[in-house]
Amino acid sequence: MSRCDECGKQENMPYQCRHCGGTFCAEHRLPENHGCPGLDNWSDPGGVFDSGFDDGVADDSGGGGVRDRLGIDTGPGGPLAYFRGNMTYAFLGAMWLTFLLQHVVILVAGGDVYSAIFTLRASHPEYVWTWFTSIFAHAPFSLFHIGLNSIVIYFFGRIVEDYVGSRDFALLFLGSGAIAGLAQIGYYIVQIGGIPQTSTAGVLGASGAALAVMGVLTVLNPNLRVYLYFILPVPLWLLTVGYTGWTVYQIVSVGAGAGGTAQVAHLLGLIVGLLYGQHVKGRHRVPNQLQFGAGGGGRGPGGPGGPGGRGPF
């Protein structure tokens, strides 16, 4: 059973609005019946259906945006049209493809090449590509690390992407992931008093980006109901506060790498998300419950249920 965001009626088969992400009964499923923010842009069809991925804005001066200057077509039928409104799934796909590629590189080229390509290390912060490849790479030969991050990104990412647009979501994901990783190795460098010549201290994983997404959603709708371990319903703010407290405790009592986890990266990712959430708060409506299996044309999570939230991500 799900509750309509407009009238509170319980529905067995709710509808999810593709524009604002809300959950509604049959009576309020149409945008005009629930005060959908998309109505404000109906005089501009591009405003209603634009996911926010495009950089360019058409004008009569002949000077297009970044998209036009680069010749990138993200319009209907274009080669990049899929990414409009689907960056969450694109990033998830990239994570799993990278996970497979990691094992190929390890087996074919060895650990040194693997590390230089995928791992953000304190000994080589100048390897700029690892600021981003490390976001998509995860602990090899372990499904738990990538699996848990995938759950968080899958359920929370769709809602945040619908809210801020695909372009801003992509910037948030990549930016928060890079900042989180750099914060972790930066903490280590400051701790030892300089960049080490050789070091095993490194960062892998999308945890910082995943927690940034969770932080944004916590600000947008702190009372969003999620299901801890897929069973226990808790408000999102409680999950976020509990995880933050546990992370700070781990850093203070054990260290930045407590439990083999990049605790500083996790904390910084969450902080970035909370700050960004404050920046974009108030743009649109967000749903009141995270669910499996509802309608909505395959966009976003639906039905009763939600992600199991357990640290570390």
Tokens of 20: 């604002």
What does the pLDDT look like over 107-140, one tens digit per residue? 999 888 999 999 999 888 899 999 999 999 998 8
| Helix, strand or coil, per DSSP, at residue 26 | coil
What is the C-alpha to C-alpha distance for residues 23 and 288, in angstroms, rounded to an integer? 8
Residue 153, pLDDT above cutoff 90: yes
- pTM value surpassing 0.95: no
Considering 222-226, 271-275, 303-307, the range whose residues carry the highest mean pLDDT is 271-275
Mean confidence (pLDDT) of the chain = 76
**291 DSSP assignment:** B
Residues 208, 263 contacting (CB under 8 angstroms): no
Q: Which residues pair with 233 in a beta bridge?
A: 227
pLDDT in tens, 55-64: 333 344 444 4
Asked whether the beta carbons of 269 and 208 are under 8 A apart, the reply is yes
pLDDT at 137: 93
At 41-84, the pLDDT tens digits run: 544 444 443 434 333 333 444 444 545 544 545 554 455 555 66
pLDDT in tens, 292-313: 333 333 333 333 233 333 333 3
Identity at 86, one-letter amino acid code: N
